[in-house]
Chain A
Amino acid sequence: MSSSAPSTIDAASRALAAGELSATDLASAMLDRIAAVEPTVHALLTVTADRALADAREADRRRGAGESGPLLGIPIVLKDLFATDGIRTTCGSRILEHYVPPYDADAVTRLARAGAVLVGKANMDEFAMGSSNENSAFGPSRNPWDPGRVPGGSSGGSAAAVAAGECLGALGTDTGGSIRLPASYCGVTGLKPTYGRVSRYGVTAYASSLDQVGPFAHTVRDVSVLLGAIAGHDPRDSTSAPQPVPDYVAALTGDVRGLRFGIPAEYFADGIATAVEKSVREAIETLRGLGATVVDVSLPHTSYGIAAYYLIATAEASSNLARYDGVKYGHRAKRGADELLEMYRHTRDEGFGAEVKRRILLGTYALSAGYYDAYYRKAQKVRTLVRNDFRRAFETCDLILTPTSPGTAFRIGEKVADPLAMYLSDVFTVPTNLAGLPGLSVPCGFDEAGLPIGLQLLAPPFEEADLLRAGDAYQRATDFHERRPAEIGAASGGRSEASEQQSA
């Protein structure tokens, strides 16, 4: 069934509307697929089989009653930091291993209203801190293109689930690249919307001035459908934006004539893999061939982004994660049961993994007496410089085009011993978050090992429609987003169809 089931939201939605397929059939096909590939991919921390079948029956009933809609009956997964009423929500952490929220996140409510079918909760780096998924307390997800490699992080489970065909769409969050990096590594499409575009009510906070919710799917068209469903003001999130939500699907005209793409030299510097640069430069030519204009722009503070990010994000994290204290919910240590401070220390020692501890300590340091001005405040000023770079660049272009990451998916274990090397995977995605801009990653090629390469497009605040129009036009002209990993089975050596095609 899985091989014949539609692999995009658009195709499934048409089949459901035509009555060729029921939501229940589709959900069953996805659950079969999950059972077949999860032992290898481990994209999910919880498979919500009963919920999926109940949601699907409800979608079929609603359709029978005359309802329609692009997400009615569509199977999706949620990164395991979206609160789901009655369904375990771990954030990839031991401290919340058994936590069951009493309410739904706003994005979850909106997807349910649109008729989406929840098939699972996706694996992630603990509290969204990581670039590889290896910081999950429950073991990493594996890249469907090569199970010996990481899917990227922190929303690695969401990206891997889409790439492996376990769902048709997924939600993740992006604080420094956590949607775009895994989208790039897994060969799927991922969007980080403008800061404030999607409500974060019910989404576990990591770094509140940077966090944003966004969708994954195979195509820009599908991502546009998902964004339309989850975007919009929510009075329960004071940072959610009041701007009206345009019809993102209607914006997909296929026409990029006259659209000006800025190419920043700083994103093609030393350290970028040859295959990545080649594919991205080919993408520039593809867009030029479609009638787009290409201009040079400069983002001179790009190289300072990671340093500023790791001070700001960790400072905010040290504050946000203070709530995990063993009192209101989550794990409480048995040790230290007779004294409050000891109970806090043991609870947090037992509950948090190494990267979370590292970031809490770094953030606490950056905020502590005597260091605040030199680190935290300095980083906030550099953030202003990064933001000004983009403002100036967008005076001469409509969109900015870059690689999503300097490289492709690395091997599991390769960067674990060197936190700084891991952080540098995000060098091209972090500046976008510092500036609050929307960013899209679309597949644009494969390297010599058959691993997917991502193209990143950036836009001014709330110009997602332009971003999606450009990404969709690119996908109409290319087929990288249509390639799928080779059949994922036990003891797969990780060879993929694409790698065979590439080497042939």
Chain B
Amino acid sequence: MPVSLEDVDHIARLARLGLTDEERTALRGELESILGYVEQLAKLDTGGVEPTASMRDDSTPTRPDRTSNDDDAEKLVERAPDRQGTYLRVPKIIEASE
């Protein structure tokens, strides 16, 4: 599976990951090599095989949907890089995301 620099840029954009030119070039080759390795899965006949998404054979357990006010807002927000009161402050959001 050939991987182009444009492919790397595309998935880096999806992953919100900035890359230096050096990283872009290295990652292109590495991803190509790893994807080449996983190609072997294509040889396996998986017709009629159900995918495994979870190790639990039963359904996800439920719990009562109760709210609580145990969390201390200050304790949680004090770890934020930028804040105003108990709000998290972020840079402005322009247009819609691409």
A interface vs B, CB < 8 Å? 99-100, 102, 195-196, 209, 235, 238-239, 242, 301, 304, 306-308, 310-311, 318, 322, 325-332, 336-346, 348-349, 352, 354, 357-358, 360-362, 364-365, 368, 374-375, 377-385, 387, 419-420, 423, 434, 436
Contacts and interface: CB of A to CB of B under 8 A. Distances in A.
B92 A378 contact: no
Contacts of B19: 349, 357
A382 B41 contact: yes
B5 interface: no
Q: What is the predominant secondary structure among interface residues of chain A facing chain B?
A: helix
A297 B46 CA distance: 22
Contact of B51 (A235, A383, A423): A383
Contacts of A346: 18
B50 interface: yes
A423 to B, nearest CB: 8
A196 B56 contact: yes
Nearest to A303: B40
Contacts of B46: 378, 381-382, 385
B31 A362 contact: yes
B14 A239 contact: no
B97 to A, nearest CB: 6
A248 B94 CA distance: 57
Contacts of B54: 209, 239
A325 B16 contact: yes
A357 B91 contact: no
B85 to A, nearest CB: 15
Contact of A239 (B20, B56, B75): B56
A325 B11 CA distance: 17
A339 B15 contact: no
26 contacts: A100-B79, A102-B72, A102-B79, A235-B63, A238-B61, A238-B63, A239-B55, A311-B41, A325-B16, A327-B81, A328-B80, A332-B81, A338-B91, A339-B94, A340-B90, A345-B16, A349-B20, A354-B26, A357-B19, A358-B31, A361-B27, A361-B31, A380-B51, A380-B53, A381-B50, A382-B44
Interface string B15-38: 111111001001100110111011
A342 B92 CA distance: 10
Contacts of B90: 327, 340, 343
Contacts of A352: 17
B41 A304 contact: yes
Which 8 residue pairs spanning A and B have beta carbons closest together?
Answer: A349-B18, A380-B51, A332-B81, A345-B18, A436-B55, A381-B46, A329-B79, A344-B16
B44 A341 contact: no
Given A238-B61, A384-B52, A357 B31 contact: no
B17 A361 contact: yes
